[in-house]
Structure 1
Amino acid sequence: MARKAFYSFHYIPDNWRAAKVRNMGVIEGNTPISDNDWEQVKKGGNAAIQNWINGQMRGKSCTIVLIGSATAGRKWIKYEIEKSWNDQKGVVGIYIHNLLDRHNRRATKGRNPFSDFSIGSSSMSSVVKAYDPPYQLSSNVYSYINENLESWVEEAIKIRQGN
């Protein structure tokens, strides 16, 4: 079954890395928003941002959180994770710090954003998986994500159905 996913990531530092994952074509994702369009959404304030996110999530079965160096703790990332979980969507994380950006640089590994949430008496990070590709070379990281993304999404959906 072809899955549709919402991609959640910290835009400024990680949009290049995120585009690499989104453009793999393994999972159909939300359409990227242009910088100009995003500026228009932001001008509408928090309600407009929330409405835009809600619209982008509609019809998606999973949220893929692309974890960069500063993803955890960001207001809208937290909103996207919480909304996804509450809407019964699968949630999965993928560390992307070793994918090169447009300047051919890696980033530092960020902390797990799921650690900020609880599911009952457990940390969400003990339920929701965050995959860290075991490579330093960007092309190997890319290949690893490309080969595994579909199964990670399916697993995330199964995990959510069981909770």
Structure 2
Amino acid sequence: MGVILPRKTFFSFHYVPDAWRAWNVRNSWVVRDTDKKSRGFFDNSVFEASKKEGDDALKTFLRKGLENTSVTCVLAGTNTWSRRWVRYEIARSIIKGNGLLTVYIHGVQNNEKETSAKGANPLAQMGLYRTNRGILLAEWKGGKWVAYADYTLAIPEGDLWFAAPKTNSVVQLSTHCLSYDFTGQNGRKDIGGWIETAAGLAGR
């Protein structure tokens, strides 16, 4: 008889403006089923302490946060797409083989009952391309695609759960991943299904 393990999901978000929104979204998922567990909800003081130790310490901290997760849910606010450490969490999720999805949370109220402007899809601001060294990560920066700076090694094609790019033209991650609007698409009820769909696409 098989053992059904709880789905562990890593939530990636822009802390300062969106922490309240992110907590509300995460809690609407967790409270429905006590078996569901999330990662990525670090105390900001711990995050800042790791950042002060330097980039390598923070990267280690974030990689540990992703351990034992099978899905990464990017909670997109106004400027989430441009945040360096959100991009790193996305990159490590690809390397790890996690399912990925974007959930727009700009329509969720913060603690002052304010919504925010919809931002770009963070998964459309990162992509993969083929070189003679293998499959590499790219990021949209300064109005153009550039090699992703925080992870420069080739990713084995067999580690990808979707088809690898065939040329040196960047294929956005959003090509392979679904996105949803938490407020506009009844996320309070349906986010669990969205996460399961992302897991299924990745074979997780």
Q: Distance in 2 between matches of 1:31 and 1:112?
A: 19
Normalising by structure 1, what TM-score?
0.86
- Structure 1 residue 21 corresponds to structure 2 residue 25: yes
> Cα distance, 1:35 vs. partner?
3.0
Relative contact order, higher structure (CA 8 A, sep 6+): 1
**Deviation per CA, 1:53-78, whole angstroms, max 9, x where unpaired?**
11110000100100000000211111
Which range moved further: 118-127 or 37-46?
118-127
User: In structure 2, how many angstroms separate the alpha carbons of the residues matched to 1:124 and 1:33?
Assistant: 25
Supply the RMSD in Å over aligned alpha carbons: 1.9
Answering whether residue 180 of structure 2 is matched by residue 131 of structure 1, we say yes
The structure with the greater share of residues assigned to helix is 1
Of Structure 1 and Structure 2, the greater strand share is in 2
Match of 1:110, as an amino acid? G
The one-letter amino acid paired with 1:28 is K
What secondary structure sits across from 1:49 in the alignment? helix
Letter in 2 for 1:21: V
C-alpha deviation, 1:134, in angstroms? 5.7
The 2-side partners of 1:134 and 1:66 are apart by 12
* Equivalent position of 1:149 in the other structure: 191
Q: Percent identity?
A: 30
Which segments of 5 or more consecutive residues in structure 1 lack a partner in the other structure? 136-140
**Larger Rg over CA atoms:** 2
TM-score by length of 2: 0.70
**Distance across 1 between alignment mates of 2:44 and 2:12:** 16
**Which of the residues 5, 9, 16 maps onto 1:12?**
16
Question: Runs ≥4 in structure 1, deviation > 3 angstroms?
Answer: none
